[in-house]
Chains A and B, each alone.
Chain A
Amino acid sequence: MIEIHGLSFRYAGSDRDALQNIELTVPDGDFLGIIGPSGAGKTTLIHSVCGLVPHRRGGDFYGSVTVDGMDTVDAELTDLARVVGTVLQDVDSQMVAANVDDELRFGLENFGAPKDEIEERIVEALRAAGIEDLRDRVIGSLSGGQKQRVAIAAILALRPKILLLDEPTGELDPAVSEQIFRILREMNERFGMTVIVVEQKIMLLSSYAKTLAVLNDGQLEVAGPVREVLKESRRLEEIGVNCPRVVTLSRHIEDLTSGAIAATVEEAEAMVREVLR
């Protein structure tokens, strides 16, 4: 469980708060999507959970972030890393090895995974990310989507309880983006891993996440179950967050549906058929 109380953070040298008085609780097994306009504090929030803020990004930190019982300010960065696996935004610069096998081995060796377990955990992580066939490939020869899966597999091999991802589909096409989210859903549903993902593509979050947190200008604008948050679509559009077209459609015909919100095309189909019956 992650508990964030009264969190405010201002980067050293900045004249405004990147985060302002954030109150947020993420229960175990949640799949949380974080969305908001540029500069809203999404990355800062992710970094506060994995400990990069304030350990490696200096500034004024107020309030508290507790991850699995550990206060992130008191705990060592590496102790947090045993619980929280983080995939940062720029996938190229987080690769440490020249080939896929070594990339996965790196974290396992560092955290002292038993030597006889390493092979099994590498195979398991590659399978979970759907890239068993890439094991012996040179990283420079992989496509963007493949690299992203390697980055995820390298974290999955560490078997974290919580998985953080910062815009994992930023440069990927819609089909590959879906594949990435399917991996995340699998980890969330089958292994009960808590997943927190910053994402601009609201359509993906609407179909895969369980809860949504909307940040705006350093503040938590609204948070809750996906459908509840999507009901606020007008407010979201005001702050610059797009909504899926089916949500807009639901709003346009709310007089016919008693206010139901369809988050996906499948739900919209059922809703319209109901209306026309």
Chain B
Amino acid sequence: MTGFLDYVPGSSVLHRLDPLTKLVLSLCVCISAFLTDNLIFLLVLVGMDLLLGVLGGVFQKALRLLSGLLKLSVFLFLLQVLFVRSGAVLFEYGILKITLDGLFVGARLVLRLTAATLPLQLLLSVTQLSDLSGVLVQRLFVPYKYAFTLTTAIRFIPVFAAEMSGIMEAQTARGVEFDTKNPVKKIGLLLPLCAPLLISSVGKIHESAAAAELRGFTLRTRASQSKRYAFIPADYAFLVFSLLLIAAGILF
């Protein structure tokens, strides 16, 4: 069982790329998705994300995220459709008014969200966190402390998620009905659980910091890293491709 942000071991071309290239590529897809207003180009970007998923052997995982995003997307889409009042009216009933603009704005938002989220997941699926922080420190001169904070935050997400589901299970055992269909009621049930989660999280972070320090964290410098990264020919191809995406984002 792997979480949706976990690294998936493999030997695909994406796995072999320099971590820096992968970082640049995923950022360029995001930027491009925000630069463009063209629905078709956004669709192309989503399609390309999925294609990259196939290339990296993590297509199933990308699909899982996509289906996870679906609920949120439907919600956001409806919100936009109902609130945008300008443009040609397609349907009107009382205060309810659906316009062409509303449909476009809603679709754009949802596609943009999808096109920009997928590459980040893809990046984490085919790149080890340590390699990511490694290139940040070695090549982009990010201070190690910041890189470590970033990767630790990502690493702790599944730990906290497990803690949260453990707490929910324990509360279910006492009779708290999390299986309720009412979302407002569910949030009301979840709020009191923040206390135990916070307490256990603070404890874990405390222990984590102590453990890292006992293993010489404060002595670490840019030169400490023993792994070196180097471009392979495919890296250059992907970098050029990334720049083309930006250009396309500006053009369309």
| A–B contact at 8 Å CB threshold (below) | yes
A→B interface (CB under 8 Å): 50, 52, 56, 77-78, 81, 86, 88-90, 92-99, 102, 105-112, 115, 118, 136, 138, 140-141, 154-155, 158
Q: Which of these, B130, B205, B220, contacts A110 with CB under 8 Å?
A: B220
Contact present for A99 and B130 (CB under 8 Å): yes
Residues of A within 8 A of B7 (CB): 98-99, 138
Beta-carbon contacts under 8 Å, B213-244 to A = 213-220, 224-227
Asked if B152 CB lies within 8 Å of chain A CBs, one says yes
Top 5 A-B pairs, shortest CB-CB distance: A110-B216, A94-B211, A107-B215, A93-B204, A102-B130
Q: Which of these, B128, B205, B225, contacts A99 with CB under 8 Å?
A: B128
Q: Which of these, A50, A90, A99, A158, contacts B207 with CB under 8 Å?
A: A90
Residues of B within 8 A of A118 (CB): 226
A sample of 17 cross-chain residue pairs with beta-carbon separation below 8 angstroms, ordered by A number, consists of A77-B214, A78-B218, A89-B207, A92-B204, A93-B205, A93-B207, A94-B208, A94-B212, A96-B152, A96-B211, A105-B130, A106-B215, A107-B215, A107-B216, A110-B217, A115-B226, A138-B9
Asked if B74 CB lies within 8 Å of chain A CBs, one says no
Residues of B within 8 A of A155 (CB): 215
Residues of B within 8 A of A81 (CB): 213-216
Q: Which of these, A95, A102, A111, contacts B128 with CB under 8 Å?
A: A102
Closest to A155 in B: B215
Closest to B127 in A: A98
Asked if B3 CB lies within 8 Å of chain A CBs, one says yes
A41 to B: closest C-beta gap in Å: 18
Asked if B185 CB lies within 8 Å of chain A CBs, one says no
How many residues on the B side are at the interface (Cβ–Cβ under 8 A)?
34
A111 to B: closest C-beta gap in Å: 5
Closest to A141 in B: B2
Residues of A within 8 A of B155 (CB): 95, 98
Contact present for A96 and B204 (CB under 8 Å): no
Residues of B within 8 A of A78 (CB): 213, 216, 218-219
Closest to A136 in B: B9
Residues of A within 8 A of B217 (CB): 96, 110
Residues of B within 8 A of A112 (CB): 219, 224
Asked if B194 CB lies within 8 Å of chain A CBs, one says no
Bound complex: CA A98 to CA B208 (Å)? 14
Contact present for A109 and B224 (CB under 8 Å): yes
Residues of B within 8 A of A140 (CB): 2-3, 6, 158
Residues of B within 8 A of A115 (CB): 226
Q: Which of these, A77, A138, A158, contacts B213 with CB under 8 Å?
A: A77
Contact present for A56 and B216 (CB under 8 Å): no
> Which residue of B6, B211, B213 has the most chain A CB atoms within 10 A of its CB atom?
B211
Residues of A within 8 A of B224 (CB): 109-110, 112
B62 to A: closest C-beta gap in Å: 19
Can you add 15 more A-B contacts, CB < 8 Å, to A98-B151, A107-B215, A141-B2? A78-B219, A81-B215, A81-B216, A88-B207, A90-B207, A93-B207, A94-B211, A96-B148, A96-B208, A96-B215, A106-B215, A138-B6, A138-B7, A140-B6, A140-B158
Beta-carbon contacts under 8 Å, B153-210 to A = 155, 158-159, 203-205, 207-208, 210
A53 to B: closest C-beta gap in Å: 11
Asked if B129 CB lies within 8 Å of chain A CBs, one says yes
Bound complex: CA A237 to CA B170 (Å)? 33
Contact present for A154 and B128 (CB under 8 Å): no
Contact present for A96 and B212 (CB under 8 Å): yes
Bound complex: CA A138 to CA B213 (Å)? 22
Bound complex: CA A194 to CA B158 (Å)? 36
Residues of B within 8 A of A154 (CB): 215
